[in-house]
Structure 1
Amino acid sequence: MNGYEFELFTADLFRKMGYTVKLTKQTGDQGIDVIAVKNRTSLGVQVSAILIRFLIRQ
Protein backbone atom coordinates (compact mmCIF):
# COMPACT_ATOMS: atom_id res chain seq x y z
CA MET A 1 0.00 0.00 0.00
CA ASN A 2 1.54 3.31 -1.04
CA GLY A 3 0.98 6.65 0.70
CA TYR A 4 -1.99 7.69 -1.45
CA GLU A 5 -3.68 4.31 -1.04
CA PHE A 6 -3.24 4.67 2.72
CA GLU A 7 -4.92 8.10 2.56
CA LEU A 8 -7.86 6.52 0.73
CA PHE A 9 -8.00 3.72 3.31
CA THR A 10 -8.00 6.25 6.16
CA ALA A 11 -10.71 8.33 4.49
CA ASP A 12 -12.85 5.21 4.09
CA LEU A 13 -12.51 4.44 7.82
CA PHE A 14 -13.78 7.91 8.69
CA ARG A 15 -16.69 7.50 6.24
CA LYS A 16 -17.63 4.24 7.94
CA MET A 17 -17.67 6.13 11.26
CA GLY A 18 -20.21 8.55 9.83
CA TYR A 19 -17.95 11.43 8.80
CA THR A 20 -18.18 13.42 5.59
CA VAL A 21 -14.70 13.17 4.11
CA LYS A 22 -12.63 15.23 1.71
CA LEU A 23 -9.14 14.35 0.49
CA THR A 24 -6.83 17.32 0.00
CA LYS A 25 -4.62 17.79 -3.03
CA GLN A 26 -1.33 15.91 -3.05
CA THR A 27 0.90 18.99 -2.67
CA GLY A 28 0.58 22.28 -0.83
CA ASP A 29 -1.86 20.88 1.72
CA GLN A 30 0.15 22.00 4.78
CA GLY A 31 0.43 18.34 5.84
CA ILE A 32 -3.31 17.69 6.06
CA ASP A 33 -4.37 14.74 3.91
CA VAL A 34 -7.97 14.10 4.98
CA ILE A 35 -10.62 16.50 6.28
CA ALA A 36 -13.38 14.70 8.18
CA VAL A 37 -16.55 16.49 9.35
CA LYS A 38 -19.27 15.19 11.67
CA ASN A 39 -21.77 17.03 13.88
CA ARG A 40 -20.21 20.44 13.12
CA THR A 41 -16.79 19.16 14.20
CA SER A 42 -13.96 19.21 11.65
CA LEU A 43 -10.85 17.08 11.90
CA GLY A 44 -7.69 17.62 9.88
CA VAL A 45 -5.86 14.31 9.54
CA GLN A 46 -2.25 13.85 8.52
CA VAL A 47 -1.67 10.33 7.23
CA SER A 48 1.74 8.67 7.26
CA ALA A 49 2.51 5.21 6.00
CA ILE A 50 5.80 3.79 7.19
CA LEU A 51 7.30 0.58 5.87
CA ILE A 52 9.22 -1.28 8.52
CA ARG A 53 11.25 -4.32 7.62
CA PHE A 54 12.97 -6.66 9.97
CA LEU A 55 15.81 -8.91 8.98
CA ILE A 56 16.64 -11.68 11.37
CA ARG A 57 19.85 -13.58 10.82
CA GLN A 58 20.80 -16.68 12.66
Structure 2
Amino acid sequence: IRYVVVHELAHLIEMNHSPNFWQIVVQVLPNYQAEREKLKLLQKKLSAQCWE
Protein backbone atom coordinates (compact mmCIF):
# COMPACT_ATOMS: atom_id res chain seq x y z
CA ILE A 1 0.00 0.00 0.00
CA ARG A 2 2.90 2.38 0.74
CA TYR A 3 4.08 2.11 -2.85
CA VAL A 4 0.64 2.95 -4.26
CA VAL A 5 0.24 5.96 -1.96
CA VAL A 6 3.74 7.30 -2.68
CA HIS A 7 3.27 6.70 -6.41
CA GLU A 8 0.00 8.61 -6.53
CA LEU A 9 1.24 11.45 -4.33
CA ALA A 10 4.30 11.84 -6.56
CA HIS A 11 1.88 12.51 -9.42
CA LEU A 12 0.84 15.70 -7.63
CA ILE A 13 4.32 17.00 -8.46
CA GLU A 14 5.11 15.14 -11.70
CA MET A 15 2.15 14.14 -13.85
CA ASN A 16 4.06 11.51 -15.83
CA HIS A 17 6.58 8.74 -15.19
CA SER A 18 9.63 10.80 -16.10
CA PRO A 19 13.00 10.39 -14.39
CA ASN A 20 12.00 13.28 -12.11
CA PHE A 21 8.91 11.36 -11.04
CA TRP A 22 10.98 8.31 -10.07
CA GLN A 23 13.45 10.52 -8.20
CA ILE A 24 10.58 11.73 -6.04
CA VAL A 25 9.44 8.16 -5.41
CA VAL A 26 12.98 7.05 -4.49
CA GLN A 27 13.40 9.95 -2.06
CA VAL A 28 10.34 8.84 -0.12
CA LEU A 29 10.52 5.09 -0.67
CA PRO A 30 14.07 3.97 -1.55
CA ASN A 31 13.01 0.31 -1.88
CA TYR A 32 10.02 1.09 -4.10
CA GLN A 33 11.08 -1.54 -6.65
CA ALA A 34 10.71 -4.37 -4.14
CA GLU A 35 7.32 -3.04 -3.06
CA ARG A 36 6.26 -2.70 -6.69
CA GLU A 37 7.21 -6.32 -7.36
CA LYS A 38 5.18 -7.47 -4.33
CA LEU A 39 2.18 -5.60 -5.73
CA LYS A 40 2.61 -7.25 -9.14
CA LEU A 41 2.80 -10.67 -7.47
CA LEU A 42 -0.37 -9.96 -5.50
CA GLN A 43 -2.11 -8.88 -8.71
CA LYS A 44 -1.20 -12.20 -10.34
CA LYS A 45 -2.45 -14.16 -7.33
CA LEU A 46 -5.74 -12.27 -7.26
CA SER A 47 -6.21 -12.65 -11.01
CA ALA A 48 -5.69 -16.39 -10.66
CA GLN A 49 -8.56 -16.39 -8.17
CA CYS A 50 -10.81 -14.45 -10.58
CA TRP A 51 -10.61 -11.10 -8.74
CA GLU A 52 -10.70 -9.10 -11.96
Q: Which is richer in strand?
A: 1
Which is higher, the Rg of structure 1 or of structure 2?
A: 1
Compute the TM-score of the two structures, normalised by the length of structure 2: 0.34
The structure where helix makes up a greater share of residues is 2
Taking structure 1 as the reference length, the TM-score comes to 0.31
